[in-house]
Amino acid sequence: MSTTPHKSTGSIIEMECSACRKKTGHKVLAAFESSKGDEILWIENIFQIIQCQNCEEISFRSESFLSENTEPEIQLYPPRESK
């Protein structure tokens, strides 16, 4: 497994804030990428520390890409409430 800084550091992601309870821009304060596997089966993870640009709340976001799936799996901490 290799871990490297990810190019998303400094970018803005639009998403629901756990504190504001509305969709706001979140700045990526730090981001790292890890991957493992081979040409057939692989996984790539992007781990991000993000900050709401409205209330400055800090959150953690992970995005996982699996060789078998077409869509990434996104997890947030703290979790967002389902609507």
Q: Which long-range contacts (CB under 8 A, 24 or more apart) does 60-68 make?
A: 61/13, 61/15, 61/26, 66/42, 67/37, 67/40, 67/41, 67/42, 67/43, 68/41
pTM across the whole model: 0.84
- Tell me the pLDDT tens digit for each residue of 9-62: 999 999 999 999 999 999 999 999 998 888 888 999 999 999 999 999 999 999
- Give domain limits for the chain: 2-77
